[in-house]
Structure 1
Amino acid sequence: MEDYTVFFYYISAFLASAVISGWLILISSTNAYPNIIRTKKEKYFRNPITGENVVFPTLNENPTLDLSVIVPAYNEEERLCPMLDECIEFLEGRFKSTGFKYEIIIVNDGSKDKTVQVAEKYCKKLGVDKFRILDLEYNRGKGGAVRLGIQCGRGSLLLFVDADGATKFADFDKVEKKLFELISTTNSKDSADKLAMSIGSRSHLQDEAIAERSLFRTILMYGFHFLVWLFAVRTIKDTQCGFKLFTRKTAKLCFESLHVERWAFDVELLYIAEKLKIPIAEVAVNWTEIDGSKITPFWSWVQMGVDLGLIWLRYTTTAWKIKAKEDLK
């Protein structure tokens, strides 16, 4: 009996030492806060009419517009035009009827096709006060592209949308209304310094999606949702819809602590918001699957699953920290 006691004692001591050593290695080898890299060229946007390079503003400056729309784009030559046509028609209608001031920022994430040339046509048509292109020198991943675009925005509100146009832009009215309800206002100008987020959701379409998907993809979908709930976000049904609206203060606090730059960045973003107790509204939106997705059903979801585990592990062990927590005290 004593031999078993000694054995379990040594095993326990070994496991405890391994856990502590692993934690120390993780802490010492991981940056607590993200190292956001931005090249000198990426601090400027080009005016295609004059050829002049102009410095982008930053989130630390006061807002000068009602809304900034951030569109991350990687090889979106084919899908970008329909999305922009719908987006601009909606925003121009608002501008003409109410004076609603907006800008669209296309973040070219190292595309190898003619994404930039397509975007420049719209920039020439609308002018750089309404349309700008952030041309990244190398691919960052969707999360990295969104963050750099958000940091260039001039709006009291900032919205990031997918370049495929899967979510109908007219649903912005519903998403904006829910955000205003969270902060008890009806004016975007009064929202910049408030904390709130309103996000589009496809959870109401889940039954329809299951009916159209194969058994394998349905299993992957449920598996991913379970991992999101287990490791990170428990109050949101659909974390991945590319239609998220932030107040300026919310965007600054959340994105400055964001580490993940790949597909799972949405989950970390919402995890940070939950930890900061930022009010979040989830709003049902119209959504249509568009051909040309960059996600590979199996390997992209495996990658996201790994990222989810790492998000939980690194925040739980304090290897990653939320910088904004200190700002809210």
Structure 2
Amino acid sequence: MDRPVEVSVVLPAYNEEHTIEGTVRTTLETLAAFLPSDAVEVIVAEDGCDDRTPEIADQLAAEDSRVRHFHSDERLGRGGALERAFEAANGETLVYFDTDLATDMRHLEELVKRVRSEEYDVATGSRWMPENVADRPFKRGIPSRGYNGMVRLFLRSKLRDHQCGFKAMSREAFYQLKDEIKDNHWFWDTELLVRAQRKGLRVAEFSVDWEPKGDTKVDLVRDIFGMGSQIGRTWWELSVRPRIDRRVTMAAGVALTLVALMLMTVYLDPQEVLDVMGAADPALVLLAAVVYLVSWPIRGLRYRDILAELGFREKTGFLTGAIFISQTGNLVFPARAGDAVRAYVVKARRNIPYPSGFASLAAERVFDLLTITVLAGTVLLGLVATGNTSALVDGLLGSGAGQVGASERQAGRTAAFVAAGVGVAAILAVVAIVASARSDRNFIRSALGRFSSDSYADHVAGIVEQFVVDLQRTAGRRDAFARVGVSSLAIWVLDVVTAILVLVALGASGEMSLVTLVAVSFFAVSVGNLAKVLPLSPGGIGLYEGAFTILVVALSPISAPVAVGAAILDHAVKNIVTVLGGVASMLSLNVSLTKAVEESANAREQAEPVESD
């Protein structure tokens, strides 16, 4: 039964069978030195332990009515366990500290007093105050200083130590902050302090004596991947997103278009582009653009089928727009950062979880790579069968492509090696995905366990597992595999037809047979696109042109100037269609980050903790 108490101390516990009993008893003894016995409670926030911690906590709760045990059948994370316990706590002053008692307990009275006296809303111990810097081992000290420095720099915190597990707050302060804190794991402590300062709450930081207990819990997965990403996420939410409105979003869309078009001139001679366009048959160039545009609704249909396998039913028009926006981003940002834009759009607008969004996108990429690998491989087999591989080798080595410039020749060589590696990787990926979809074995947690035993690693493993499961669901069923495969083939056939029309627009059809023109185009476009997978340049500009040029010259009677012009015009037509479609989609979908986040349904599914009597 709930009792009116003044101070609630929460002890987050995960597999603490060797320390929890001593910690609870020490806590009660320390509190009794400065508070009435019936004014306190100690809550063991046991977070899905798989050792004897639950049993010991139950026994302690049975022996002393001031002790309460909250059990969770699944891992909530350190922050999640703390938040649940605080919501159920009875005290007006809420306290928590690490169960290893690394912080000297003689500071507990000072911690409680600073909040209980109503002088401060939040109080935290600090190991990095000038008058009392903790003697920390190198393995602990360097990461801690670096982390706290990043928090002060990016999140504008005035505190020196954000992760000291020795904090207190008023009940009112907790309820002001809890709905704004997004992290459920180790970053919860930092986010609490940062958001408290941003709200203007009174935050006290005071030095404490601290002694490390046991080995460090600095963790590769949690501290590098997790904490760093959370700093970035919080910086975006607090410093960037509030400044983004519809006007800023539309201006960014226009700027994105201009940057994409300007980037096309970094690797290409603008005058050369104009000369090529001037010599081409405008009707055929326009037809090429129309053919390429037709492939985009098919991309939307394919993406719809992929998402349908994951249980999400969306309209083709919306998905086509999302793809346009992400591909426009890929023309501007390095390392295919535009892919994350699509995952964001479908998450914000349709509440498709990020793991599913990225898994669907990865499935799409795998099918793309597999399709163009098969296309390139089919032509290569034809070259082997007809004894024309020597021309290809001579072209790549340079002896057979004397008319081609050094930059295009080097790009062609690079593209050939990159394309070969990417093609092999694509085939292996498809084999692995289909094979693993039929297996009950899962190696993700064991693999991550080699680097991390932390609760955040479990969280990351869960996300990765969901990603893999979604990917397997898409590629594992024969009918889904066939349907998405056929649409992928249609997309890339139209891509090649676009290149063929550009070559014909420049008069290339009079220099070779239609069969040769088609075969050369399929091979050049496929290899060029395989090479673009590695982000060696934004949108693959430059690399694609070099690959296309060297292969066309090596395998056909087309002259180098025509091949270069066709490569430039082909890529320019495709990029212009992509950029214009991206801008139109941004306008029609009204992709404003602030509004999109507000419209997204981010309800957190939380199961109430079970209290043990």
TM-score, L = length of structure 1: 0.67
Map 1:106-117 → 2, pairs under 5 A:
106-117=44-55
1:248 aligns with 2:174: no
CA distance in 1 between counterparts of 2:180 and 2:47 reads 20
1:221 aligns with 2:144: yes
User: Offset of 1:149 from its aligned partner?
Assistant: 0.7
1:308 aligns with 2:228: no
1:133 aligns with 2:133: no
CA distance in 2 between counterparts of 1:151 and 1:297 reads 29
The 1:226/1:260 distance shift into structure 2, 3 A limit, reads: same
> Can you list the C-alpha shifts for 1:39-62, whole angstroms capped at 9, x where unaligned?
xxxxxxxxxxxxxxx7xx7xxxxx
- Determine the structure 1 residue equivalent to 2:113: 177
1:90 partner SS: helix
> What code does the residue aligned with 1:317 have?
R
1:118 corresponds to which of 53, 56, 81: 56
User: Offset of 1:297 from its aligned partner?
Assistant: 3.7
CA distance in 1 between counterparts of 2:218 and 2:141 reads 14
User: Offset of 1:145 from its aligned partner?
Assistant: 0.7
- Determine the structure 1 residue equivalent to 2:180: 257
CA contact (8 A) 1:64 1:156 kept: no
CA distance in 2 between counterparts of 1:70 and 1:270 reads 17
User: Offset of 1:176 from its aligned partner?
Assistant: 2.6
> Can you list the C-alpha shifts for 1:229-288, whole angstroms capped at 9, x where unaligned?
122242111111111111110111111221101111111111210111000011112221
Map 1:128-207 → 2, pairs under 5 A:
130-179=66-115, 183-184=118-119, 196-204=121-129, 205-206=132-133
CA distance in 1 between counterparts of 2:62 and 2:40 reads 16
CA contact (8 A) 1:197 1:280 kept: yes
CA contact (8 A) 2:21 2:60 kept: no
CA contact (8 A) 2:93 2:116 kept: no
> Can you list the C-alpha shifts for 1:198-221, whole angstroms capped at 9, x where unaligned?
111111454622xx325xx54423
CA distance in 1 between counterparts of 2:144 and 2:201 reads 27
User: Offset of 1:197 from its aligned partner?
Assistant: 0.9
CA contact (8 A) 2:124 2:168 kept: yes
- Determine the structure 2 residue equivalent to 1:208: 135
> What code does the residue aligned with 1:103 have?
E
2:42 corresponds to which of 104, 127, 132: 104
CA distance in 2 between counterparts of 1:148 and 1:300 reads 22
User: Offset of 1:298 from its aligned partner?
Assistant: 3.2
> Can you list the C-alpha shifts for 1:48-90, whole angstroms capped at 9, x where unaligned?
xxxxxx7xx7xxxxx9211001111111111212322211111
1:317 corresponds to which of 232, 241, 252: 241
CA distance in 1 between counterparts of 2:201 and 2:141 reads 31
The 1:296/1:207 distance shift into structure 2, 3 A limit, reads: closer
User: Offset of 1:228 from its aligned partner?
Assistant: 0.8
- Determine the structure 1 residue equivalent to 2:24: 84
1:299 corresponds to which of 218, 221, 226: 221
User: Offset of 1:103 from its aligned partner?
Assistant: 0.6
- Determine the structure 2 residue equivalent to 1:12: none
Map 1:41-60 → 2, pairs under 5 A:
none
- Determine the structure 1 residue equivalent to 2:365: none
- Determine the structure 1 residue equivalent to 2:204: 281
The 1:290/1:227 distance shift into structure 2, 3 A limit, reads: same
User: Which entry has the higher C-alpha Rg, 1 or 2?
Assistant: 2
CA contact (8 A) 2:30 2:108 kept: no
CA distance in 2 between counterparts of 1:119 and 1:308 reads 34
2:209 partner SS: coil
CA contact (8 A) 2:126 2:207 kept: yes
> What code does the residue aligned with 2:56 have?
V
Q: Which has the higher contact order (CA 8 A, sep 6+)?
A: 1
The 1:180/1:108 distance shift into structure 2, 3 A limit, reads: closer
The 1:88/1:156 distance shift into structure 2, 3 A limit, reads: same
User: Offset of 1:131 from its aligned partner?
Assistant: 1.0
CA distance in 1 between counterparts of 2:88 and 2:199 reads 23
Give the number of aligned pairs: 241
CA contact (8 A) 1:178 1:283 kept: no
CA distance in 1 between counterparts of 2:208 and 2:141 reads 21
CA contact (8 A) 2:103 2:210 kept: yes
Answer 1 or 2: which has greater helix percent: 2
CA contact (8 A) 1:76 1:115 kept: yes
CA distance in 1 between counterparts of 2:37 and 2:64 reads 15
CA distance in 2 between counterparts of 1:167 and 1:219 reads 19
The 1:74/1:207 distance shift into structure 2, 3 A limit, reads: closer
- Determine the structure 2 residue equivalent to 1:36: none
CA distance in 1 between counterparts of 2:37 and 2:218 reads 42
> What code does the residue aligned with 1:202 have?
R
> What code does the residue aligned with 2:75 have?
N
User: Offset of 1:144 from its aligned partner?
Assistant: 0.7
Name the Cα RMSD after superposition: 2.3
> What code does the residue aligned with 2:102 have?
A
> What code does the residue aligned with 1:107 have?
A
1:245 partner SS: strand
1:77 partner SS: coil
Q: Percent identity?
A: 24
1:121 partner SS: helix
User: Offset of 1:154 from its aligned partner?
Assistant: 0.3
> What code does the residue aligned with 1:149 have?
A
CA distance in 2 between counterparts of 1:250 and 1:218 reads 30
CA contact (8 A) 2:134 2:211 kept: no
The 1:88/1:249 distance shift into structure 2, 3 A limit, reads: same
